[in-house]
Amino acid sequence: MKQPIVVGVVGCGYWGPNLVRNFRSLPTCNLKAMCDVSEARLKHLKTLYPEVEGITDFGHMLNGLGLDAVAIATPVKHHYQLAKASLLAGKHVLIEKPMAASSAECEELIDLAESKGLVLMVGHTFLYSTVVQKIADIVQAGDIGEIRYINSRRLNLGLFQKDINVAWDLAPHDISIILHVLGEFPLVVNCQGNAHVTPGIEDITNISLTFRHKRFATIQSSWLEPRKIRDMTIVGTRRMIVYDDLQTNEKLRIYDVRVERPPHYDTFADFHYSYHYGDSYIPHIKQEEPLKSECQHFLDCIEKGTKPLSSGYEGLELVRILEAASASLKEQGAPITFSRTKEIVPTLRRQPHTERAPQELVSA
């Protein structure tokens, strides 16, 4: 039998314990250590997992325990330093979203991981959700036609972050899903928002992403909403999908509705939009904890030496969009345009949209 992969988790605040719980449950993993600068957090986690070592000294975890891999769940400002130290020590790395505080940091980590032949993965957790995989399958199969727009909302009261605004905190989930489903990088990013509670840290933001062929996505993020909302609408030329992540079982509903313009008309009296109202249906989706699949995928990539679904490149793409959103915010929503060369290359490795001819992916 193969030796389990020896993993340590750094950052045991809100999210880290979920990584600890999942890695610990996987038979191909030996979760050796949990590291946090807070003694209080470690004390609490030791009561839950007494057999896992609790360590405050990250250097000791990195060099003293024979780890194969490190999973990082600290605040974003620490991701780069911890990931760089881990890669330099020869460890495979899983970093929670967003990958780092700047695209320059992401690029450096990608280069370092590649030069050392190590797996670098980013925790774009929703890509490991069976619901999002189902959406991608439906879109790829052409069932909803051409996507016209996507609207995504992630709203609730708190949790307020101290080092990043709400776009950097919540929008990575929506952006990762949208890029995955559309299979391409936006041409233009706009973002508006306001900081109502902590000066300089926006607690509500609205991001718009413009893609080729007039495809459009809007992402609303808020820590100042009385109700918790996590939903996404994907409008296609033939059908529409509504994804409500707060539903327990029926998270996905496909509506057979559309509206079409008449191909030609002679007088205004002849002009009628054609509305189609068909059935709606709820596909059966086997529910699995996305984080568990994410952790297993990380271990599988290490074992097989394969590129993760959410590799450093996908992490970099996402951070580029967040940087553009921050730049637009400073300019009260002004458009930030990407040059159509370097940025779009990594996404072309994914499956193109099925209803497009391949050459359309390389010409605007």
Ligand X SMILES: NC(=O)c1ccc[n+]([C@@H]2O[C@H](COP(=O)([O-])OP(=O)(O)OC[C@H]3O[C@@H](n4cnc5c(N)ncnc54)[C@H](O)[C@@H]3O)[C@@H](O)[C@H]2O)c1
Q: Which is nearer to ligand X, 8 or 236 (CB)?
A: 8
Minimum CB–partner distance for residue 271 and ligand X (Å): 48
Please identify, using beta-carbon distances, which residue of 78 and 353 lies nearer to ligand X.
78
Between 72 and 187, CB nearer to ligand X: 72
> Which C-beta is closer to ligand X: that of 76 or that of 132?
76
Nearest approach, Cβ of residue 298 and ligand X (Å): 13
Cβ closer to ligand X: 310 or 328? Answer: 310
Shortest Cβ 94–ligand X spacing (Å): 10
Tell me the residue ranges of DSSP E strands in the chain: 5-10, 29-35, 53-55, 69-72, 92-96, 120-123, 147-157, 188-194, 204-210, 216-222, 224-236, 240-244, 252-260, 274-281, 336-337
Which residue has the closest beta carbon to ligand X?
13
Q: How far is the CB of 98 from ligand X (least distance, A)?
A: 7
| Cβ 211 to ligand X shortest distance, Å | 24
Residues 252, 244: Cα–Cα separation, whole Å? 6
Closer to ligand X by Cβ: residue 123 or 312: 123
How far from the centroid of its chain's Cα atoms is residue 56's Cα? 29
Which residue matches tokens 């009296």? 269
| Max Cα–Cα distance, the chain, nearest Å | 81
The DSSP symbol for 353 reads P
User: Which chain residues interact with ligand X by CB under 6 A?
Assistant: 10-16, 35-38, 41, 58, 73-76, 78, 96-97, 123, 125
**In this complex, which beta carbon is closest to ligand X, that of residue 161 or of residue 192?**
161
Smallest gap from residue 358 Cβ to ligand X (A): 33
Provide the 8-state DSSP code for 266: S
Shortest Cβ distance from residue 195 to ligand X (Å)? Answer: 19
Inter-residue contact 128 to 294 (CB < 8 Å): yes
Alpha helix segments (H runs only) across 259-361 = 290-304, 312-330
What the block records as the tokens of 142 is: 């052409």
Pairing assessment for the beta strands 147-157 and 188-194 based on DSSP bridges: unpaired
Tokens of 53: 């070592």
